[in-house]
Amino acid sequence: MDFTEKILTASTLGPWRDNLRRTGRKLVVTNGCFDVLHLGHVTYLQQARDQGDALLVGVTSDAGVRSLKGPGRPLNSENDRAGVLAALEAVDAVRIFSELDARAFLQAASPDIYVKGGDYTIDTINQDERRLLEKLGVKIVILPAVPGKSTSALVQKMQSEPAAKDLHPDSASRTMEAVPSETFTASRWTKGNHLFPTTIEVTDKAVVRHKRSWFSKDEMSFSMQKVASVHIKTGIFWSDILIESSGGTDPLASHGHYKSDAKRIKELIEGFQQGPAPS
């Protein structure tokens, strides 16, 4: 079965639930953000699935996560989060909901059992949701958290640790290590830069853009002789940079830089192309 078929819509949730009733299968429901899936999540989801015959996971929308967790979250979009959950063997179906709490989702799902994991107790779960579940006659189960496993702790760890060095740097990276350089980091308050902000490194030999994600690192570089032009698009708070190459390759683009940094990048590149490095 294609895991994307497990992602339900408002129109497919009802028939899917009716089919479970006809076959006498007990439905377990849980919900959450599931921003960065880790061992704590998959352990809790497997334990939740073991409570009944099918597990439906409600996923908080991007807007809901921002309201709950603050700026910079979610790290993964609602569709990505739903897709990763749907790919798990323990999960039978996934539904994204746009409301700030799960009451409408729970009403539509009409579970036999509702499971919440982590540090919650019956008195600390959303009490409006609790009252609805009790009204519907739903059994509520609280599962213990896996110690030391949480998305917030993982995000803090990733933000506090420097990026690991590439064990096999390419020639551009070796060039950057061989000469003095200036590095400019995009603002974490701009889109795509919250957790792993893009950096631009400029030397008298090359300009390199460094990007990374949870699972990969990406570098794009132009030798200083190949830089054809530098364009800066300045907004209210931040500047976007577009560096074009005379070699016919795709331009090197980076967004969300401080205005002063963007200006300095352009000054450095133009200065290195003309002669000695600008001071």
Using pLDDT thresholds of 50, 70 and 90, give the confidence band for residue 140.
Answer: very high
- Of 36-40, 57-61, 78-82, the least confident: 36-40
pLDDT given for residue 159 in this prediction: 57
Give the percent of the chain with pLDDT over 70: 85
Average pLDDT, the chain: 84
Domains detected in the chain: 3-154 (3.40.50.620), 162-274 (2.30.29.30)
Phi first, then psi: what are they for 252, rounded to 5°?
-90, 115
Identify the burial level of 164 via C-beta atoms within 10 angstroms of its C-beta, where 0-12 means exposed, 13-18 middle and 19 or more buried.
Answer: exposed
pLDDT range class, residue 156, cuts 50, 70, 90:
low
Q: What is the pLDDT of residue 153?
A: 60
Q: Which tens digit of pLDDT belongs to each residue from 231-243? A: 999 887 789 999 9
User: How would DSSP label each residue in the chain?
Assistant: --GGGGEE-HHHHHHHHHHHHHTTPPEEEEEE---S--HHHHHHHHHHHTTSSEEEEEEE-HHHHHHHH-TT--SS-HHHHHHHHHTSTT--EEEEE-SSSSHHHHHHH--SEEEEEES--TTTS-HHHHHHHHHHT-EEEEEEPPTT--HHHHHHHHHHSPPPPPSS--HHHHHHHHS--EEEE--TTSTT-SSS--EEEE-SSEEEEEEE-SS-EEEEEEEGGGEEEEEEEE-SSEEEEEEEETTSPPPEEEEEEEHHHHHHHHHHHHHHHHSSPP-
Residue-level pLDDT at 218: 84
Band (160; pLDDT cuts 50, 70, 90): low
pLDDT at 23: 97
Q: Is pLDDT larger for residue 169 or for residue 87?
A: 87
pLDDT range class, residue 172, cuts 50, 70, 90: very low
pLDDT at 177: 41
Q: What is the pLDDT of residue 175?
A: 38
Average pLDDT over residues 94-113: 96
pLDDT on residue 166 = 42
pLDDT at 210 over 70: yes
What value does the mean pLDDT take over residues 131-156? 79
